[in-house]
Each structure stands twice: as C-alpha cells, then as structure tokens.
Amino acid sequence: MGTENPGRPSFPARTAATPFAAAPPQNVMPFSSSGPLVGSEASGFRPTPPAAPQPTVPFSSSGPLAGSQSSGFRLPPPPRYNDPSVPPPASNVPPTGGPFQRFPTPPFPSTVQAPTSRVPPVGQPIAQTPAPPVSFRPQPQIPPVPMGAPPQSVNSAPPNVNVPYSVSDSSFPAPMTNFQSSFPGYARMQSNADLQPPPMQSPFPSHQGGYAPAPPTSSTPFLSHQGGYVPPPPVAAPLGLQSRDQMQYPGSGAPGSIQGLIEDFSSLSIGSVPGSIDPGVDPKALPRPLEGDVEPKLFSEMYPMNCNPRFLRLTTSGIPNSQSLASRWHLPLGAVVCPLAEAPDGEEVPVVNFVSTGIIRCRRCRTYVNPYVTFTDAGRKWRCNICSLLNDVPGDYFAHLDATGKRIDLDQRPELTKGSVEFVAPTEYMMRPPMPPVYFFLIDVSVSAVRSGMIEVVAQTIRSCLDELPGYPRTQIGFATFDSAIHFYNMKSSLTQPQMMVVSDLDDIFVPLPDDLLVNLSESRSVVETFLDSLPSMFQDNVNVESAFGPALKAAFMVMSQLGGKLLIFQNTLPSLGVGRLKLRGDDLRVYGTDKEHMLRIPEDQFYKQMAAELTKYQIAVNVYAFSDKYTDIASLGTLAKYTGGQVCYYPGFQSAIHGEKLRHELARDLTRETAWESVMRIRCGKGVRFTSYHGNFMLRSTDLMALPAVDCDKAYAMQLTLEETLLTTQTVYFQVALLYTASCGERRIRVHTAAAPVVADLGEMYRQADVGAVVSVFSRLAIEKTLSSKLEDARNSVQLRIVKSLKEYRNLYAVQHRLGGRIIFPESLKFLPLYGLALCRSTPLRGGYADAPLDERCSAGYTMMTLPVKKLLKLLYPSLIRLDEYFLKASAQVDDFKILEKRLPLAAENLDSRGLYLYDDGFRFNIWFGRALSPDVAMNLLGADFAAELSKVTLSERENEMSRKLMRILKKSRESDPSYYHLCHLVRQGEQPREGFLLLSNLVEDQMGGANGYVDWILQIHRQVQQNP
C-alpha cells in the first residue's frame, strides 16, 4: 500500500494547489460597488487573497490525503475519483518515472473504451473472471460495519463487480443493474480497476469523497470508500439502494428508490436501420411534455433550505467538478433567475430588519448571511459558505450554539432557515433617498394611431388604473404626445384643466416647464383625469403622418432624469423626423439567406442603443408598445426595452375592436403589478465557478452587476457558468442571487435567494440532475442572440448540434454496455429536450425564412422570449391542445370542471378530429378550432346565429346556454392561471385557409410544415447524427 503513494500525489497536489494558484474570489465586487444607488459600503471591502497554506508543495510526494487537506478551505478532503481523466496535461503525460508506471495509459481516457472492458449486468457470473482477485482482497475485510452479506454485496458491488463474492451472492440482480447504469462512473472506474493492481484503490476513496465526507481517520483508502455509507442499516436490498442515494446527497431523503434508478435513462426504440428512410419510430411512444413544466423535485429535496425553484433554477443541479467534465456537457451550464417571481399566498418572502447590527455579510466576498453558513467558536464566528472565510459575529447578533452546533435562536431567524429572504437596506445601500414610482407616458398621436383606436384604449386603461398604481401617495405621473411636434402637458394641481405646450423645434429639444410636467398623482388627480378623458378627442382630426419619435424620447428622458421610473411608449408610426429616424428596411426578401440577414434584426441606428444606456444610467425603464400594421422596425425600438430592463409588446395591425381587450389587460398589468425600482442584481457563487455571460433584458454595469431600472414578477434572467479552476475541490457549490431594489412603498430592500448544488464527478450524474426547463430557457436565449449575429438557419443548426452532441455524449456513456444499437437513448431528465429543441426551431423568432413570420413579429417575439420565466416559455414552445366538445356534451359535472385543462393532446394534426372542437393555448392567445364535421348544435350554441359565417369576423361572447357558459368558464380559468399576458381568442374553422394555416397548423410543432421537420423526422435526424461517428 505504501508504494502507491508516489503515484498519487500528482492528483491531490493538484487539487490543493490549483485553488490557490488561481483563486480570485469571483464575486469580488460587492453589491454596492458600482451603482449610483448603492452606497459607500464598497470601500470597506478589500478582497484579501486567500492564504495558501501549502502553496509550495504541489508536487511533493507527501501523503495524498494530507495534500488535499492542506487547503483548509473545506471540511473533508474531497478528492476526485476521476482525477486521472481530468487533470491538466501535465499529469496525463506519463513520465517514465516509477510512480506513473501504474498508469500505463491515462486511466480513463475516453468513455468509449471504458464500457467495453466493463462487465455488463450482474448476474452473469462470467463477469468475475477478469478481475485480478488479489487486488481486491483487502476489501472484504475492510467494511467495518456489521452488516449482513447480501446488503453488503449490493452496496459494495458496483465498484467492483468483478470481485467474486459480489456476484456470488447477488440476490438482487435487477436493482444492481440499474444501480450500475445510474452510475457510469463506476463503470469506467472499474475498467480501470481491471487494469490496475492495488494502487488503483486510491481512486475509490476519491470517488466517494466527492459525495460523502471521508472519515478523517481512515488510513486505508478503502475505508474512505466505504465511508459514504458506513452506517446503512443492514436490512434488505432496497434499503441498501436508498442508502446509496444518501451517500450521494448527504442529508437528502431517499428520493430515488428502485423506481428512480430504473428511470435513470429512457430509450426509444428505433426499429429501422439508422439511415434508412422507413421511420421505425412509433410516434405515440415519443415523449411529450403534456403535464407542462415540472420543477425538479430532487434538487429541493436534497437541500431543503434552498430557495424555491420558481426563483432560481439551474440547468443541472450537479455541478461538474472539472473543466474537462464541463466541456463534455454540451448543454448550457447555468441558471435561470426570476428574482421577484410571484409566490403563492402563505409563502411570501420574509422580511428581516437588522437594525442594530447592520446586514451581516462576509467580509471578503460580501455574501449575505444565509442558511448554509456555519457558526463556530461557540457562536462567536461564522464561516462563509461561499468563500469559507471566518467572520466575526457582531455582538448583537450573537447566540449560543446548542449541542449540534446550531444556533439556539434559529427559529427566530428566517435568514438562517429560509432560502429566500428580504433584508431592509440601511443608509449605506442608498445613494439617494428612495424615489417614488414614476410613470411617464409617451403617446404617438399621428393619424394611424388615431385611426387604430389605440389612443382611446390607452387613455381609458390608464384612467381606470389610476387608483391601483403602486406607491400611493407618492406616485408621480406625466404625459407627452408626439406627431411631427412634441406636446407637453402642464398638470399642476391648481389648474382645472391641463395646459398643452407644443415644442416643434426638433433639433434642439428643451423642456418648456421646469416642473409640473411630472406631477404627484394624488394631488393632481382631477387634472390627470380631465386630460385622459379629453385625450382621444383632442387628436381626433389629426392628419399628421409624421413621427418625431427620437426627439420625443429625448424630451421624455429630460423630464424623467431626476427621478427615474418607468417610461411607457405607445408607438404607431415608423420614426420619421429628427434623431433616430428609421428607414423601411424589413421587406427585403433578397436579404434572407445572405450574410447580411442578421442586420435586419439588430438596431439600425446607434441612437437607440446610446439612448438606452443613458436611460438606464438614470434609472428609467422603457416599455415599448407598438401597434403599427406596417413595418415599424421593432428591432431598433426594442433595443430601448432590452437595455433598460423593460419589455416589448407588439400588436400587429392594432384594431381597438379586436385587440383592445388584450392591450387593456396587459397595460393594466404593467401598471399595477408590483414593481421593484432602481435595482441592481448580482449572483454570487462559490470558489472555482463564475458566471460569465448573462442573457435577458438588462444592462451590465460591471462584469457581473446587472442594472435593472425596473423589475417585476414576469421577468427572468439567464446566465451561464464557467469553471475557473481545473478542478473543484469543494463538495457543494452555493449560489446567491441578491437584488437590491426600492419597493414601491419607498423602502429599500435586498432580496436574497440562496441555493446549494452538489459537485459531481461524473457525467451521468449531471444528466440525471438536469432540469430540462432551465436548459431550454437558456438555450432559447442563446439561439435568439445567435439570430442577431448570424442567419436563422445557423441559429437553428446550432440548437440541433448541441442537442446531438449532448445525446451523443450520453450515448457513449451507456450505449455499449446495454447493447442499444438501434435505440436512441436519453436521460430521463432530458427526455423532452429534443421536442423542445424542435419547438424552439419552429418558434416565431427562429422559424423558417422571410415568408414564415413578419420581421417585426419575429423581433418582438425574440424580445419577449428573452424575458420569459421558465414556465411561460415552455408553454409558449409547446402549447396545450385540448379537446372541448366531448366535455361539453358530457353531463355537467361541476367538480371536475377544470380537469379537462389537464388533458393535453400532442400537437399534431392527426389529433384534430374533424368532429371535434379544440382549444389551443400558448400562454399568449387561444385558438379555438372548429372541426368541419362538428355538430352544428355545438357551434350554434357557442356562436349564436352567425355560426356559419366567416369566423374571423365573429367574436366569442357568453350566450344563454350551458355550453357557452362552460366554454367561457374554461377560458376564464385559463386566463386567471396565467395573468401576465392576456390570451386573445381566435376562432378558426377547419379548412379555412389561410387563417387556419398561420393560426394553428403552423404551430403544431410535431407536424411537418414547409421546410421544417416533424417530430418523427426530427428524432430520426438527431438519432442518425448521434450514431454517426465523430
């Protein structure tokens, strides 16, 4: 045993050395460092480089355990079992020296070879033979636990199936098979074990070390291998299996019993020879997300103190422990954050006010105190979970520890028990006093706006929302309108009626009044109401066709720059005067398919980007409402929203009669939802990992500080991680999202979400813990960003390529061992990934070419999808399709009224029965499809007398019969379940072209349509590519 040590040091030494060599605490910038909003607290903070206890002994041949423990930054030594495959080239190149001769080849060089030498399912006694029994002799003696033979064998078998005894009494062959499949690491390791004489035992402890603390006393490596599950109850096999789960996730329940193991991956039989045309796929058997989005359960069960997944979702909860592992995970590695997600009643985020002590944060990395910090030294110190620095506990915050090391006041400290809390920010977190909520409306009054009826709807909606604007009594409000000139309105409270001031000098914009353009709503209420009442009629006869949008925007900026706030732009005519005028450029068919194609999707004029930067600086968020029936260059206008944390709402060809309700609802929601103002957001994470790219609507103020002038519950942000160090030495990575904002009531607060995720050492585990919703969210943001720099085709191909790569990698893990030649296999957790990938390629921003979606719609959908939270995005990608007529004809059973909403159908035309009535719901609209052979009764009941008329002219309204009431109830219920957007209802009859085509058929993502693949073809195509050798 002694002789193996010289061979090992290169690994532990590396693990110990790298963190110190390159360990800049990545979240060096404290929250406050860069915003005008945040205070001087930054100055107090100086990143002290971590002291490296043994930086000078990296390659010395001291004992491996000592070497890896030297870090002092983590509690147990977490060596990695797959070091050999991972370490930087240096350790992989075998020098001729003695120590390395034990690794004749880099031990786990490729996953492909490994399984070959690996012994397939237990129960085949032949498996024993290749193992040199000597090498494993020590093992049976070592497990010190008094347990019966069978469980022992089950537990310890996987790593060494070849050892005779493990098979001899394997009374539970089936679970073991699954066990192995779930644990590819073992497979590869084992092949290695075959090659290696005793020294290779050392990888075993390191493997286990990744999950469970190795007992410090263990001198023999194998003991530490057992360490993870030393205390399993010596009962029957299933329990033994559960204990396996525990050993992976200390503290978790026992989520995966046999069931979980069996489901570890799914396979799809593809009967045909790959490459042949005959589709051997059973379309019915393909996986479909008919239950909608499922939040990953396992993750929150493992770490019960994590914040709810509605706030933070990781693309995989298993963080790879090495860069090489991360590079084999071809999917995005990152997180989707929705900091203000609406919490159901009873789960509100608790508010904590540290009056006397100030907010408790780590001195070095500025992490906020959270449930994962540990208190030591009888409660006088606390250890930061992110950078492991020992901090002093302020006197007023001190509490004694009980016998288990927990603070005795734990039940009164939500910040130490809950993953999400809000801290009341003290003065240091404000550069200026909290500003009131400000709403400034910039309304286009050119002739097309007047004709569309937009102004009327907007004025009515604003008026009806005046009572519900947040922040009473401080709320400020202001208006300006523009056509070829800019009109300001003096709404001083002493006036009885607003005064209009016209500025027609567009070259040199000035604000005609110093104040009173932005007034306190509660004081000037009557003037504001008078204004809104008269606004529609004021411009009734306007025939001006110009739009001085750019100058108007500048003027609005000047009015708002003191206070910041929200700027709502209602825009109808392509900007034609002054700065920021735009050209008609969207209807050029020939550009598509060329290298210049993407230029259409990025802003034409730098003015908009510069303006957006200025607006963000002054804490102004822009929401763009566009209404034109012609081209309005959403690509340029949307930039304003993109960089100021706003949103784009596009109502193509707005007609108040049709879209009025939708605008009313969405504007009202925009005005009345709880909004966080003047905010900045930062996400911190543990040593060795770093967030490097961010995707969504915001402005990056420093490398990792997102400036968000306004945030609300409907906005989500995606970000991607990279590993900074070759090897992660910790067992857990912690993430902390902190959003510093001003609430509408004038309180400055910090909302903190904390989550922990285990570090895993093998790829199979990463797949097992993947969260398809988050993966798809990040994916779609990346794809949309890609459309801004390259062709649509390329963006689609990149989506497909990444899916193929990841499935190929997964296949390499498992395919050979399970002889799945003709089958496509994918992890259970990602079974919907191919379908969502397909749906993404066919979504509005990415689909087809010139003819498939108007440019403006494409851009606005792109801007919208960049902000959507996971749930809504998945709904949009794979909408629900529900058959209604059967339900109508059934006798009314009030109880299961809404059960029907859960019975979703696959999105394929073959599921549309011409005798049926279907509801298609993508979260933004309803399409109700009337089959050609639908019984006239139903149609008559729902539509009244004009049921036979052209459906585009018919609107749905409640009628005096049970059926119609039922339908309305269902629609209402659907709308209520998802209030962030209004579902506009379209009626369409089978065969009614072209409406049926663009409303419904093109959205049935499983069907072949134009040049796009259907689901079956897509799967086959992916499968073929997966099978191709690289």
Partner 1 sequence: MVKLTLIARVTDGLPLAEGLDDSRDLKDAEFYKQQVKALFKNLSRGQNEASRMSIETGPYIFHYIIEGRVCYLTMCDRAYPKKLAFQYLEDLKNEFERVNGAQIETAARPYAFIKFDTFIQKTKKLYQDTRTQRNIAKLNDELYEVHQIMTRNVQEVLGVGEKLDQVSEMSSRLTSESRIYADKARDLNRQALIRKWAPVAIVFGVVFLLFWVKTKIW
Tell me which residues touch partner 1 (CB under 8 A). Answer: 353, 355, 424-427, 430, 433-436, 473-474, 514-515, 520, 522-523, 562-563, 746-748
Q: CA separation (Å) from 352 to 376, 383, 396?
A: 23, 21, 15
Least distance CB 434 / partner 1 (angstroms) = 6
Using the minimum distance from each CB to partner 1, give the nearer residue, 97 or 514.
Answer: 514
Least distance CB 473 / partner 1 (angstroms) = 6
Using the minimum distance from each CB to partner 1, give the nearer residue, 8 or 748.
Answer: 748
Least distance CB 358 / partner 1 (angstroms) = 12
Least distance CB 835 / partner 1 (angstroms) = 49
Sheet containing 374-376: which strands, arranged edge to edge? 374-376, 381-383, 390-392
Residues 580 and 228: their CA atoms lie apart, in Å, by 64
Tokens of 593: 């398919």
Least distance CB 493 / partner 1 (angstroms) = 9
CB neighbour class for 963 (10 Å; exposed up to 12, middle 13-18, buried from 19): buried
Using the minimum distance from each CB to partner 1, give the nearer residue, 434 or 869.
Answer: 434
Using the minimum distance from each CB to partner 1, give the nearer residue, 562 or 961.
Answer: 562
Q: What are phi and psi of 890, to 5 degrees?
A: -65, 150
Q: Which residues contact 700 (CB under 8 A, 6 or more apart)?
A: 694, 706, 707
Using the minimum distance from each CB to partner 1, give the nearer residue, 452 or 476.
Answer: 476
Residues 641 and 542: their CA atoms lie apart, in Å, by 28
Least distance CB 611 / partner 1 (angstroms) = 21
Using the minimum distance from each CB to partner 1, give the nearer residue, 104 or 350.
Answer: 350
Using the minimum distance from each CB to partner 1, give the nearer residue, 325 or 750.
Answer: 750
Q: Which residues contact 537 (CB under 8 A, 6 or more apart)?
A: none
What type of residue is 306? N
Using the minimum distance from each CB to partner 1, give the nearer residue, 516 or 724.
Answer: 516
Residues 102 and 93: their CA atoms lie apart, in Å, by 13
Least distance CB 853 / partner 1 (angstroms) = 44
Least distance CB 514 / partner 1 (angstroms) = 7
Least distance CB 417 / partner 1 (angstroms) = 22
Tokens of 792: 């649509």
Q: Which residues contact 886 (CB under 8 A, 6 or more apart)?
A: 916
Q: In 618-711, which ranges are continuous DSSP H helix? A: 634-644, 656-672
Least distance CB 435 / partner 1 (angstroms) = 7
Least distance CB 654 / partner 1 (angstroms) = 35
Q: Are 607 and 582 in contact (CB under 8 A)?
A: no
Least distance CB 549 / partner 1 (angstroms) = 26
Using the minimum distance from each CB to partner 1, give the nearer residue, 216 or 394.
Answer: 394
Q: What is the DSSP letter of 269?
A: E
678: left (phi over 0), alpha (psi -120 to 50) or beta: left
Q: Is residue 721 within a helix (H) or strand (E), and if so which, with residue range? A: strand 717-723
Least distance CB 411 / partner 1 (angstroms) = 21
Using the minimum distance from each CB to partner 1, give the nearer residue, 436 or 845.
Answer: 436
Q: What is the DSSP letter of 3?
A: G
Residues 801 and 345: their CA atoms lie apart, in Å, by 42
Least distance CB 615 / partner 1 (angstroms) = 17
Q: Which residues contact 549 (CB under 8 A, 6 or more apart)?
A: 444, 482, 571, 573, 575, 577, 578, 580, 581
Least distance CB 573 / partner 1 (angstroms) = 32
Report the DSSP pairing between strands 880-883 and 381-383.
unpaired
Core vs surface per residue 663-701: b (16+ CB within 10 A) or e: bbbbbbbbbebebbbbbbbbbbbbbbbbbebbbbbbbeb
Using the minimum distance from each CB to partner 1, give the nearer residue, 429 or 643.
Answer: 429
Q: CA separation (Å) from 664 to 60, 272, 457, 581, 868?
A: 71, 53, 7, 29, 20
Helices 772-787 and 833-841: crossing angle in degrees, nearest 10, is 30
Using the minimum distance from each CB to partner 1, give the nearer residue, 184 or 434.
Answer: 434
Least distance CB 429 / partner 1 (angstroms) = 9
* Three-state secondary-structure class, residue 357: coil
Using the minimum distance from each CB to partner 1, give the nearer residue, 559 or 971.
Answer: 559
* Three-state secondary-structure class, residue 926: strand
Asked if omega into 394 is within 30° of 0 (cis), the reply is no
Q: Which residues contact 581 (CB under 8 A, 6 or more apart)?
A: 549, 550, 575, 605
Using the minimum distance from each CB to partner 1, give the nearer residue, 201 or 742.
Answer: 742
Using the minimum distance from each CB to partner 1, give the nearer residue, 35 or 77.
Answer: 35
The half-sphere exposure of 92 on its side-chain side, counting CA atoms within 13 A, is 14
Least distance CB 431 / partner 1 (angstroms) = 8
Report the DSSP pairing between strands 705-712 and 699-700.
antiparallel
Using the minimum distance from each CB to partner 1, give the nearer residue, 436 or 551.
Answer: 436
Residues 561 and 540: their CA atoms lie apart, in Å, by 31
Tokens of 577: 């005067």
Using the minimum distance from each CB to partner 1, give the nearer residue, 559 or 841.
Answer: 559
